[in-house]
Amino acid sequence: MRPAVMPAPARSSRLPRYAAALAAALAGADAKACPLSAARQAPVAASIARSFGFALRPLLGTAVLRTDIAYATRAGMPVRAAGDGRVTAVAPSGRGGSFVWIAQAEAVHLRYGPLAPRLRAGACVTAGDGLGSTLRPPLTLRMWRAEGFADPLRWLAGRRPGPPPTRMQDDTPN
């Protein structure tokens, strides 16, 4: 008698590359075991080069959703934790360096990278703790919630991240 084979769960191409590993890590790691506060700060001392949301592709004229924010950094800049939480994964970025995933309070997960990390999965961090240093520009910060991607700048400003955008916003006055 052959054992029953469970089918592999369907994978959505819209999920982050390491979403399955992140979900597995979060199931075993309790982010509430780390001290959590409402303190939030920018991860680097640099200006924002690209913001979250829809943008037009100049050559094609089509809209693309930017799921992260990019900071105008240079190689070797120190990267700090934006808030308190637990490091749930340190995964290769594909182009050198690593992405660092941190579970925050209120089911918020931040991904920093690419960087040369100084931490391992399971470490507790507080706002301002060093995560590592940038390897090349830009440093990206991506936020994931149960509803999907969210704007990290809203969270850094102390506001609740809204639902993920569903269409391109028109900022022209009526």
Inter-residue contact 89 to 103 (CB < 8 Å):
no
32-50 per-position pLDDT tens digit: 578 888 889 999 999 999 9
1-10 per-position pLDDT tens digit: 444 443 444 4
Taking the chain (174 residues) in consecutive chunks of 10 residues, what is each chunk's mean pLDDT? 42 47 48 76 94 87 90 96 95 90 91 94 94 94 90 88 63 40
Dihedral angle, C-alpha 126, 131, 137, 138, nearest 10 °: -30
